[in-house]
Structures are given as structure tokens and as C-alpha cells.
């Protein structure tokens, strides 16, 4: 019988008809990149993307944290950490402020319902003063907090300083932010 050399893998095989590839290579289709793909898949594993809306478990970028908070998919946000999700109440508060939260700032739900992220239900909190602080240091700390959050409330008297804080890349992020289908800028 005639033996042939497989054009794909170079192995010698006994053809049953005019095939140019051995039975092993014929059982695997090739991806557009040239790598083998599985029988059930349209592409190889390297070309297949499983992130975002191409994932079969995608539910629109909203998920629920184990403690009841709503998480939104925001891969470019500085608070994402290891994943690509950020708490929705943080995004809503940052949108209300027009800037990212400063370190030590957090968002509190007034009614205690963790998935109620309406702007009127959220308030900005800051960490309490450090423990064991000297009186002089406490005054300096209080001035620092007042300066950092002066732009959140209107000054009561003329001449009160208003400090605006911003972070690099902030405008690019805010121009693309959309929460619950509503564009915020």
C-alpha cells in the first residue's frame, strides 16, 4: 500500500482516499491563525476572548457582591483592584462630585439598603480622626479635611477657600461613564 506524509504534521500514514492530512490532523480543524481549534469551537483557545460581552455568562456588566452591594464593570477605573468591577454607589458618588473619591473617603447608604444607589440616598463620609492624636495634630487634620471637601458644600462666607481636587485621566473616564443606560456627562 502507498504511504503518504501528512502536509500538516509530517507523520507518515496510510491514506484511505485522497486525503493530504493524516487522520489525527483531519480530526482537528484549524483556526484562522493556523493553530488547532476544538471540534465545538469556531476559534482556537488563544484567539477566543472570554471577557466582557463575548463571555457566555455576561449579564450586562452588573453583578451583586456577596454582601449585597451592586458591582458594575468598569475596567479602566482606578478602584478596580484585581478585577474589573467597582461598587455602583462609589461610581454614583464620584459622578455627583465630578471627581474620584480621595483616599480615606467612602460612601454611606442613608437608609441602610445596600443596593439602593439613588444619589439622594448616598452621602460622602471620611474616616474618623486617627486614634491617639495630639490636639495640635487634630486641628491640622481637621483643616486638611475641610480643605479637601470644601467644594462639596457652598461656602458660607465670602473668602472661604474652595479647593477642587482632580486626578490624572479623570476627564477621559467621566466622558465614557454610563450607569443604568444613563449618560452622566
What secondary structure does DSSP assign to the chain, as a single string? ---EE-TTT--EE--SSS-SS-HHHHTSEE-TTSSEE-TT-SS-TTT---SGGGSTT--TTEEE-TTS-EEEE-TTSTT-TTSSEEEHHHHHHHHHHTSPPPTTEEEEETTS-TT---GGGEEEEEPPPPTT--HHHHHHHHHHHHHHTGGGS--SSTT--------TTHHHHHHH-EETTEE--
> Residue 1: what pLDDT?
59
Q: Splitting the chain (185 residues) into consecutive groups of 10 residues, what average pLDDT does each group show?
A: 82 84 75 76 77 76 92 91 90 93 86 94 78 76 82 50 40 50 51
For residue 93, give the C-alpha cell.
Answer: 458618588
The whole-model pTM stands at 0.53
Q: Which domains does the chain have, with CATH numbers?
A: 53-179 (3.90.75)
> Residue 57: what pLDDT?
79
Amino acid at each position: 500500500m502507498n504511504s503518504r506524509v501528512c502536509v500538516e504534521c509530517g507523520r507518515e500514514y496510510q491514506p484511505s482516499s485522497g486525503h493530504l492530512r493524516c487522520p489525527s490532523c483531519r480530526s482537528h480543524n484549524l483556526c484562522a491563525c493556523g493553530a488547532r481549534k476544538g471540534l465545538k469551537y469556531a476559534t482556537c483557545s488563544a484567539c477566543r476572548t472570554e471577557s466582557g460581552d463575548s463571555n457566555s455568562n455576561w449579564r450586562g456588566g452588573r453583578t451583586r457582591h456577596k454582601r449585597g452591594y451592586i458591582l458594575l464593570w468598569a475596567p479602566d477605573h482606578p478602584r478596580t483592584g484585581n478585577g474589573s468591577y467597582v461598587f455602583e454607589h462609589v461610581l454614583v458618588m464620584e459622578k455627583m462630585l465630578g471627581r474620584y473619591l480621595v483616599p480615606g473617603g467612602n460612601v454611606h447608604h442613608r437608609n441602610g439598603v445596600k443596593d439602593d444607589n439613588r444619589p439622594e440616598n448616598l452621602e460622602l463620609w471620611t474616616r474618623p480622626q486617627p486614634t491617639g492624636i495630639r490636639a495640635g495634630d487634630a486641628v491640622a487634620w481637621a483643616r486638611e479635611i475641610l480643605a479637601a471637601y470644601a467644594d462639596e458644600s457652598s461656602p458660607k462666607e465670602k473668602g472661604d477657600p474652595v479647593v477642587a481636587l482632580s486626578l490624572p485621566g479623570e476627564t477621559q473616564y467621566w466622558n465614557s461613564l454610563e450607569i443604568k443606560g444613563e449618560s452622566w456627562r
